Amino acid sequence: MTAPIPGPAPVPGPAPVPGPASAPGPASVPGSASVPGPASVPGSASVPGPASVPGVASTPGPTPSQTVGPFYGYALPFPGGGEVAPSGDATAITVHGYVYDGAGEPVPDALLEFWQAAPDGSLVPRPGSWRRDPASGAFLARDGLDFTGFGRVPTGADGHWTLRTLPPPPTAPYLSICLFARGLSGHLFTRAYVEGLGGERELKGLAGDRAETLLARREGAGVFRFDVRLQGEGETVFLSFDR
């Protein structure tokens, strides 16, 4: 493409934001004028409100979730999304499993995101989960060196997913999972506690008699199995982080 493009710079700076200078942002959100803010959203009452930040005007309520739908597949997955462990790391583990719906059928269009601490317990977020080809913009694999703690894996036609990562630390012995799928109005959080890292007691306290649904069971050397049941018998425990 060689024609001069009269378009805008890729990211216009803050200048074009209209509205009162003393109220950054919120005033321009649709509906904010007539909406009584976060209190109108169920569950947000216990949340420390905007008033807790000095100098910041009241913020409209949170933007609600909408389903990821069936067609995210050409936008969100990326090469090496499930290869969180640096290449060749002998301590890497494989965690894998299926996602099932309420009829026990595999879910072929779910997307799982993983987030965890490094084996040494550190949680310093690090970019670099993917790299781009500067010539074509194509997605390249990771650099094989840095551990970013982040993975993203779509299920296959059989509802199965696989993640290769480093074991989480005994201080936080789990992979945090955020699951998206067509049919879910929002995402679901859960955790896969990796068996043998000492998290079984914490797990019992968290999920009681449903704790088993959060355990990634050892299948063999360095291989762990974690199935997600969205609904029905053996329904996986899903987590919330407010209240």
Partner 1 sequence: MTIDAVPDGRSAGRVVDPYRSGALREPTRAPVAVGGDPEAVELYGPVFGTTEVTSLDADLTRRHLAEPHGERITVSGRVLDRAGRPVRGQLVEIWQANASGRYAHQRDQHPAPLDPNFTGTGRCLTDADGGYAFTTIRPGAYPWGNHENAWRPAHIHFSLFGRAFTQRLVTQMYFPGDPLLAYDPILHTVSDAAARARLVAAYDPELSVCDWSLGYRWDIVLDGPSATLPDPEATR
For partner 1, the binding residues in 54-113 under the rule CB under 8 A are 56-76, 101-103, 105, 107, 113
Report the alpha-carbon distance of residue 129 to residue 143 in Å, rounded.
8
If binding is defined by CB under 8 A, does position 117 make contact with partner 1? yes
If binding is defined by CB under 8 A, does position 225 make contact with partner 1? no
Report the nearest approach of partner 1 to the CB of residue 119 (Å): 13
Residues whose CB falls within 8 Å of the CB of residue 160, separated by 6 or more in sequence, listed in order:
96, 97, 98, 106
Three-state DSSP at 37 gives helix
Using left for φ > 0, alpha for ψ between -120 and 50, and beta otherwise, residue 36 falls in alpha
If binding is defined by CB under 8 A, does position 166 make contact with partner 1? no
Report the alpha-carbon distance of residue 64 to residue 140 in Å, rounded.
32
# binding residues, partner 1 (CB under 8 A): 108
Q: Which of 71/241 has CB closer to Fe ion?
A: 71
If binding is defined by CB under 8 A, does position 34 make contact with partner 1? yes
Q: Which of 151/154 has CB closer to Fe ion?
A: 154
Report the nearest approach of Fe ion to the CB of residue 71 (Å): 6
If you ran DSSP here, which 8-state letter would residue 5 be given?
A: P
Could you tell which of partner 1, Fe ion, none binds residue 54, using a CB distance below 5 to 8 A set by kind?
Answer: none
If binding is defined by CB under 8 A, does position 197 make contact with partner 1? no
Could you tell which of Fe ion, partner 1, none binds residue 131, using a CB distance below 5 to 8 A set by kind?
Answer: partner 1
Span 55-94, contacts to Fe ion by CB under 5 A: 69
Report the alpha-carbon distance of residue 187 to residue 52 in Å, rounded.
28
# binding residues, Fe ion (CB under 5 A): 1
Span 1-30, contacts to partner 1 by CB under 8 A: 1, 5-8, 10-14, 16-18, 24-26, 28-30
Please give the backbone phi and psi of residue 208, each rounded to the nearest 5 degrees, phi first. 55, -130
If binding is defined by CB under 8 A, does position 36 make contact with partner 1? yes
Report the alpha-carbon distance of residue 128 to residue 10 in Å, rounded.
22
Do the strands 188-194 and 174-181 form a parallel or antiparallel pair, or are they unpaired? Answer: antiparallel
